[in-house]
Structure 1
Amino acid sequence: MSGSIEYGNLMHRAMRRLISDVLEDVSENGLPGDHHFFITYETTHPDVGMPDWLKARYPEQIMIVIQHWFEDLIVDENGFQITLNFGDAPVPLYVPFDALQTFVDPSVEFGLRFESQDSDEDEHSSPIHIVDDLDDEEPSDSDADAPAAQAGESASGGKGKPAEEKAAAAPAKRDAEVVSLDSFRK
């Protein structure tokens, strides 16, 4: 038996299981209400499945948006596959849970940020941060060409608003507050 309990690894598994459960529910029932997800993941992970042209465009990480149009969402124990619209062309992706960097649902101000296990931080620091105010996690203007179903036919048959309309209608942004789990340790 090891000399300590690896809380960080246990929390990683629990939070990835939470994301898996949420995506499984969306796969079966669709997105409820205003829920939508911004998911950032490492494109360098060996199990990521994406076309070469897309990997060349996003060589280190990519943010996808699951909102208006997506199909073929299938979740397994190691990750999920999904087809998203990139430039009016459906593109299948496979995202391993181990490649996740952030998972954000701005409709309810919920988010998780997974810190790299290889970071230079103290070995006892938490690899997970719970984000309190997620406005800062939404794509910035520099992400205007970020792939995702920002516009187009939604799963429910409705039309999505273009990203520019959403930005104009969005409330003023506040700075995000990241809460480290270390702050709860005694």
Structure 2
Amino acid sequence: MARQIDYGNLMHTAMRGLIKTVLQDVADNGLPGKHHFFITFDTSHPDAELADWLSDRYPGEMTVVMQHWYDNLKVGDDGFSITLNFGNAPEPLYIPYDSIITFVDPSVEFGLRFEAGEDGTDDTPPEPKGRKAEERPAPKPAAQPDAQVVRLDTFRK
């Protein structure tokens, strides 16, 4: 079979790079204006680090919010660490980029969603819990009209 350009994997890499760039800017300069993030990640990812009580409570996935209070944001090549407040108990987390399922900034209606292939398989190079990237607008509050969803799979043959 002839070599093909793997656009799905290229998008996957680009989207994770975008998250890294955004988080590095926030680490350097803080969250600007009304920006804030909802980040859903796979808590069972082998490189994710979180307190046992959090992984017990959220055995599959967990959504964290970066908004009013966060501390110790450190952005690395493979993931980021951050301390977040859970019921007045600060907890450190390490979230690998390839464990991220969704990254949403509702203040500007921006969102990324990473999904496995339709058949449940993943055609990205071997990575723990890798997913193909799909760009999708951020969810809006119920009072606003729905945004159009752009699915990258539509353009695949």
TM range (shorter): 0.7 to 0.9
Could you report, residue by residue, the CA deviation over 1:16-72 in whole angstroms, capped at 9, with x for unpaired residues? Answer: 000000000000100000000000000010000001111000000000000000000
- Conserved 8 A contact 2:105-2:138: no
Write the distance in 1 (CA, Å) between the matches of 2:94 and 2:27: 14
Corresponding residue number in structure 2 for 1:82? 82
1:62-101 mapped onto 2 (5 Å cutoff): 62-101=62-101
Secondary structure of the corresponding residue to residue 150 of structure 2:
strand
Secondary structure of the corresponding residue to residue 40 of structure 1:
strand
Corresponding residue number in structure 1 for 2:135? 130
Corresponding residue number in structure 1 for 2:10? 10
Corresponding residue number in structure 1 for 2:153? 182
Corresponding residue number in structure 2 for 1:42? 42
Segments of 4+ in structure 1 off by > 3 A? 121-124, 173-177, 182-186
Identical-pair percentage: 56
Write the distance in 2 (CA, Å) between the matches of 1:32 and 1:110: 15
Closer, same or farther: CA 184–101 of 1 in aligned 2, 3 Å: same
Q: TM-score, normalised by structure 1?
A: 0.73
Write the distance in 1 (CA, Å) between the matches of 2:62 and 2:147: 20
Tell me the number of residue pairs that the alignment of Structure 1 and Structure 2 aligns: 150
The alignment's C-alpha RMSD in Å is: 2.5
Cα deviation, residue 132, structure 1: 2.7
Aligned partner of 1:183: which letter? T
Closer, same or farther: CA 45–176 of 1 in aligned 2, 3 Å: farther
Closer, same or farther: CA 134–116 of 1 in aligned 2, 3 Å: same
Could you report, residue by residue, the CA deviation over 1:58-106 in whole angstroms, capped at 9, with x for unpaired residues? Answer: 0000000000000000000000000000010100000000100000001
Runs of at least 5 residues in structure 1 that lack an aligned partner in the other structure: 136-169
Q: TM-score, normalised by structure 2?
A: 0.85
1:101-116 mapped onto 2 (5 Å cutoff): 101-116=101-116
